[in-house]
Amino acid sequence: MASKVIHALYNDDDVLMDAVKKVRAEHYHIEEVFCPFPVHGLDKAMGLPHTRLAITAFMYGCVGLTVAITMMNYIMIEDWPQNIGGKPSFSYIENMPAFVPIMFELTVFFAAHLMVITFYMRSRLWPFKEAENPDVRTTDDHFLMEVDAGHHDVNALTSLLSDTGAVEVKVIEKEEDNH
């Protein structure tokens, strides 16, 4: 099904922020905003929910800690408790200080790497992935707001967007929704 979206281009992040607020106040649906750099407060203005990446990182860290403890407990205490330089290997707790550096590093390792991979998967980033930006200028010095025009009066929406200081407003027919 063909759907209509409107691309409004801006060349200043302050103007963009105001435009986002105005469009939201008129209850139009903003599909996407493309920026060349992070704009502070844009997520808040668009009403995006908070990221939960930090929570996943904490859980991954717990996994890493568990891996480190079970691994060393099995190797050093249960499987072959050798006397290495007089270090006590009768129980995990007795020899724990020697394991702490590894426990720490594995916690950080798991938390960091798994969180990054989660980020890639959630934001659909991988090598050979086809770039999605609708206008090449958005990676350089332009900001683009994509507004859903499906059931609205296109002319009214276009004039609203022009009023917000857009340098360019285009109506795009999308053949296929890639969502």
Site residues for another protein per CB under 8 A: 54, 58, 86, 97-98, 100
Residue 39 or 152 having the CB closest to another protein: 39
Residue 46 or 98 having the CB closest to another protein: 98
Helix axes 154-163, 13-25, angle to 10 degrees: 140
Cα distances from 174 to residues 39, 154, 158, in angstroms, run 27, 15, 17
Residue 28 or 99 having the CB closest to another protein: 99
Residue 3 CB contacts under 8 Å (≥ 6 apart), including other chains:
148, 150, 173, 174, 177
The C-alpha atoms of residue 43 and residue 100 are separated, in whole angstroms, by: 39
The C-alpha atoms of residue 118 and residue 114 are separated, in whole angstroms, by: 6
Shortest Cβ 54–another protein spacing (Å) = 7
Shortest Cβ 97–another protein spacing (Å) = 5
Six-digit token pair at 59? Answer: 């859980």
Helix axes 53-72, 96-122, angle to 10 degrees: 140
**Residues paired with residue 6 on neighbouring β-strands, in sequence order:** 147, 171
Residue 59 or 172 having the CB closest to another protein: 59
Shortest Cβ 53–another protein spacing (Å) = 12
Name residue, tokens 């998967």.
121
Residue 54 or 156 having the CB closest to another protein: 54
